[in-house]
Homo-oligomer: A and B are copies of this chain.
Amino acid sequence: MSELYLGIDMGGTLIKMAVVDSKANVVEETSVYTDIKASPKTVIKNIADIFKKFKNYDKVKSIGVGIAGDVDYKKGLVRFSPNLPKWKNIQLKKELEKLTKKTVYVDNDANTASIGAFWLDIKNKADNMVCVTLGTGVGGGIIINKKLYRGSSGTAGEIGHITVEAKGRKCNCGNSGCSETYIGVKHIIKEAVNILKTKKSKYIMKLAENNVKNITPKLLSQAALKGDIVANHVWNNVGEKLGILLASLINIFNPDNIVLCGGISNAGKLLMIPAKKEIKARAFKTSANACKIVISKYTSKLGVVGAAMLVKN
């Protein structure tokens, strides 16, 4: 059997663990609920106890961890993680290496998701790929010559923070008009709620049991697929803004592939029909024709598999 690698995806709800082979096939996997109240040291000890029970653990050559937040990948230091409030300046690499005597790699979850998409969706076949993670935040990762591109201080790939409207909406990052302010989850819901103040929707309020607080992107997708005009309008706008972003990425990177992942990518054609229209109108033809856009089929596994494959980056 080829070499094996262990991946850990430290989420705010679940911690996923998997052993994968050198082609990123999952050999064994498990997950546990995240204990956000426990000390990081306890959490690390507990997950090590769990993954050491993997049948193939002895064959594992290295361990990779993906975690949201500010991570120093060189030191394997978690400076801050929004999902895990107790995790501040945690020497994750050091701690795990002490417990396992194996080499440990740590990176942020947008990077591990991008590596995961490169292996699972693209099967390692592209030279250049851009991954766009569509969730509460809009992030991503850049694969160049089959390797993750990190930039000069490890902070490249802030794809959600390309300005698409010079005087647009204020973004959490400090900028205005970032694409995140149009296609991030909160903003999608906010837009729907705003439109509902003046326009009637046939399905949204029914599905939301007459409470706008119950509106989610998933609910908006359901309503749109039933023909709801408001919901379709919202997705059209989101798809349009996504298309503008993707056209810029195509013009900049001329990649073989762009992979879309994360919750919002589940909207599928609701997103892609308007997005592709913008790409056709906006991107350079040669580059647009060379780029295949893929919606990830593996969103829930990208993080854990990408973490395992950090060793190759």
Cβ-closest chain B residue relative to A281:
B174
The smallest beta-carbon distance between A174 and chain B, in angstroms, is 7
Give min CB distance, A78 to chain B, whole Å: 16
A152 close to chain B: CB less than 8 A? yes
**Interchain CB contact under 8 A, B152 and A254:** yes
In the complex, per-residue mask of A140-152: 1 if CB is within 8 Å of any chain B CB, else 0: 0010100001111
- Whether the Cβ atoms of B281 and A162 lie closer than 8 Å is no
- Stretch from A52-60, A93-101, A163-171, A268-276 forming part of the interface with B: A163-171
Measured in the bound complex, the distance between the Cα atoms of B154 and A153 in whole Å is: 27
Provide the residues of chain B in CB contact with A221, threshold 8 Å: none
Write out the residue numbers on chain B whose beta carbons fall within 8 Å of the beta carbon of A247.
163, 175
**A251 touching B290 by the CB < 8 A rule?**
no
Contact A165 B165 (CB under 8 A): yes
The reply to whether A282 and B152 form a contact with Cβ atoms under 8 Å apart is no
A159 on the B face (CB < 8 A): yes
Verify if A73 is at the interface (C-beta below 8 Å from B). no
CB interface residues, A 103-146, toward B, < 8 Å? 126-128, 142, 144
A151 neighbours in B (Cβ, 8 Å) = 128, 253-255, 287, 290
On chain B, the residues within 8 Å of A154 by CB distance are 254
Measured in the bound complex, the distance between the Cα atoms of B139 and A252 in whole Å is 10
Q: Report chain B residues within 8 Å CB of A255.
A: 151-152
B254 touches A155 (CB 8 A): yes
Q: Mark A272-286, 1 if CB is under 8 A from B, else 0.
A: 000000000111101
Is A252's CB under 8 angstroms from B158's CB? yes
Closest to A126 in B: B152
CB-defined contacts of A156 to chain B, threshold 8 Å: 128, 252-254, 287
| Cα–Cα, bound, A282→B254 (Å) | 25
Question: What separation, in Å, do the CA atoms of A162 and B287 have in the docked complex?
Answer: 13
Measured CA separation A174–B278 after assembly (Å): 11
Judge whether A254 and B150 touch: CB under 8 Å.
Answer: yes
Which listed residue, B153, B165, B291, touches A166 by the CB 8 Å rule?
B165
Whether B158 contacts A284 by the Cβ 8 Å rule is: yes
> Given that A152-B255, A254-B153 are known contacts, is A287 also in contact with B163, CB under 8 Å in the complex?
no
Known: A152-B255, A153-B286. 16 other contacts (CB 8 A): A126-B152, A128-B151, A151-B290, A152-B254, A156-B252, A156-B287, A157-B252, A158-B251, A161-B248, A161-B251, A162-B251, A162-B252, A163-B247, A163-B248, A164-B164, A173-B284
15 contacts between A and B (CB under 8 A): A128-B151, A142-B252, A144-B144, A151-B255, A152-B254, A155-B284, A155-B286, A155-B287, A156-B253, A159-B252, A162-B248, A163-B164, A163-B244, A166-B168, A175-B281
A-side residues, CB < 8 A to B, are 126-128, 142, 144, 149-159, 161-166, 168, 173-176, 240-241, 244, 247-248, 251-256, 281-284, 286-287, 290-291
